[in-house]
Amino acid sequence: MKQQLEAIRKMAEEAIQNAKDQSEIEALRVKYLGKKGELTAILKQMGSLSPEERPAMGQLVNLAKQAVENLIAEKQAKLKAMAQQEKLQKETIDITLPAKVKKTGKLHPLNTVLDDMINIFTSMGFDVVDGPEVETDHYNFECLNVPADHPARDMQDTFYLAENLLLRTQTSAAQIRTMENRKPPIRVICPGRVFRADEVDATHSPVFHQIEGLVVDKGITMCDLKGVLEEFAREIYGKDTAVKFRPSFFPFTEPSVEVDVTCSECGGKGCRVCKGSGWIEILGAGMVHPNVLRSCGIDPEEYSGFAFGIGLDRLTTTRYKISDIRLLFENDKRFLDQF
């Protein structure tokens, strides 16, 4: 029995050393240590031994089992390490290779200019407010002192959805809503899309963007308006930018002005962009008409204010020297990649 036990042990050791993978090791474990394994069979033969021989033989069998278990554990650890090493070699990354460039999104030029404008005005203490794009005649025209027979109300100029429901033609409607819900002092800007029935060409679009500003408080004068707009123009176009105010007319402001800045293309010398004048019109503004204040429940005898409206699209095209406003809306990747 001792010779048989020694032979089994040697055979097991040789087989374990020659095993090539974990499945072979598992098969050898079952063969030698399983319930029907060869070493288990030796234990079953112990009954044929004398009581004096059994302890010694039992000890030898246990030593043989322990030796086989240790060999299997060592081989399993070795095979696992080899498999891990092989996996690492297969998955090795060559860090000298150039990395794959991941394309990231960029801000549209309209959003870039809008963010800059919001930063400029919020630094002056303005809040940003929004309003619905579908407006009523009450907020879009009536409260803005636009009479019922004004040409702007014509079907040819405004997109009507129902008799008194329309796509807003100006973000001034959001100013009316603000004045109805807030008490002075008020200092807000209202950015957003507006809609007008314009023919599409290089300088016009039926959908465009505005930023309108409003200040209402006691003692507000035209000097305050000029100071705000001059500071804005210098922040957008540069410190050497000159600003010119021309008399104009808007139903919701009195007096009203149009604001020009020195042409960014020629620096005021005169060119094709400014049609030789050296000036570019950027916005309209004026003191809030008393009728507008009164329609919002604000006493024009106690409070005054100013308002201005800036065309974001025109500002963007002049800032980036874009010749055709349609490029801002066509989503041409070749154009957008430049920004």
pLDDT above 70: residue 190: yes
Category of 235 on φ-ψ map: left (φ > 0), alpha (ψ -120 to 50) or beta: alpha
| pLDDT classification of 43: cutoffs 50, 70, 90 | low
- pTM assigned to the model: 0.66
pLDDT of residue 135 exceeding 90? yes
Indicate the angle between helix axes 2-18 and 54-90, nearest 10 degrees: 0
Tens of pLDDT along 81-111? 888 888 888 887 777 878 788 878 888 999 9
pLDDT of res. 317 = 86
CA-wise closest residue to 39 among 75, 68, 76, 3: 68
User: 74-78, 170-174, 175-179: lowest mean pLDDT where?
Assistant: 74-78
Q: Highest mean pLDDT range out of 52-56, 184-188, 241-245?
A: 184-188
The pLDDT value recorded for residue 215 is 97
Task: Centre a 10 Å sphere on the Cβ of residue 286 and count the other Cβ atoms it contains.
Answer: 23
- For range 36-52, the mean pLDDT: 67
Of 186 and 51, more confident: 186
- Percentage of residues in the chain with pLDDT exceeding 90? 42
Determine contact, residues 314/261, Cβ cutoff 8 Å: no
pLDDT of residue 44: 65
Would you call the peptide bond into 147 cis, given omega within 30 degrees of 0 as the criterion?
Answer: no
Average pLDDT of every residue of the chain: 86
pLDDT tens digits along 260-288: 988 877 777 888 777 888 888 889 999 99
Mean pLDDT computed over 214-219: 96
Which has more confidence, 294 or 81? 294
pLDDT of residue 299 exceeding 70, the answer is yes
Q: What is the CA radius of gyration of the chain?
A: 43
Q: 324 by DSSP, 3-state: which?
A: coil
Between 317 and 148, whose confidence is greater? 317
Average pLDDT rounded to a whole number, residues 208-232 = 95
Cis peptide before 185 (omega within 30 of 0): yes
